[in-house]
């Protein structure tokens, strides 16, 4: 999973991720943003799971939800929970690329490293 952090022209943070992991960028920006307390809370849950304490953790957000287990992390758009009737001319295969931006997964250790990188970016960015 490759990513890049930065700020746009109006000073909002952004996170760009490699194909297939785009949902992590949306989750970081839209759900965590620059909220250090919320970031610390998620990091605590990750550390707890990495230490073998507990089995799962879920954090429902406005747009994206986070599911943690000892083995993997899944970020999923809340919109995926709704059934949408597609017009007959719409092909599901054409929409699969868009779906990649709505859900992504990775290992728990990789996610822990991502959170550290996001915190470092935010702290260093305002240094």
User: What residues does each domain of the chain span?
Assistant: 3-81+91-125
The stretch 111-126 carries a mean pLDDT of 90
What's the pTM?
0.83
CA atoms within 13 Å, Cβ hemisphere of 6 = 7
| pLDDT tens-digit series, residues 16-37 | 999 999 999 999 999 999 999 9
For residue 101, name the pLDDT band (cuts at 50, 70, 90). confident
Q: Is the pLDDT of residue 39 over 90?
A: yes
For residue 124, name the pLDDT band (cuts at 50, 70, 90). confident
Left if phi > 0, otherwise alpha if psi is -120 to 50, otherwise beta: which for 52?
Answer: left
Cβ proximity of 116 and 80 under 8 Å: no
Which residues have C-beta within 8 Å of that of residue 69, sequence separation ≥ 6? 49, 55, 56, 57, 108
């Amino acid at each position: 999973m490759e990513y890049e952090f930065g700020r746009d022209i109006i000073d909002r943070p952004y996170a760009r991720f490699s194909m297939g992991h785009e949902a992590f960028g949306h989750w970081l920006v839209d759900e965590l943003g620059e909220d250090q307390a919320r970031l610390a809370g998620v990091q605590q849950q990750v550390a707890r799971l990495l230490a073998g304490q507990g089995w799962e953790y879920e954090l429902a957000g406005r747009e994206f939800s986070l599911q943690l287990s000892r083995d993997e992390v899944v970020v999923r758009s809340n919109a995926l929970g709704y059934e949408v009737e597609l017009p007959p001319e719409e092909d599901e295969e054409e929409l699969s690329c868009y779906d990649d931006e709505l859900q992504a997964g990775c290992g728990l250790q990789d996610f822990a490293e991502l959170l550290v990188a996001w915190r470092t970016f935010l702290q260093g960015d305002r240094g």
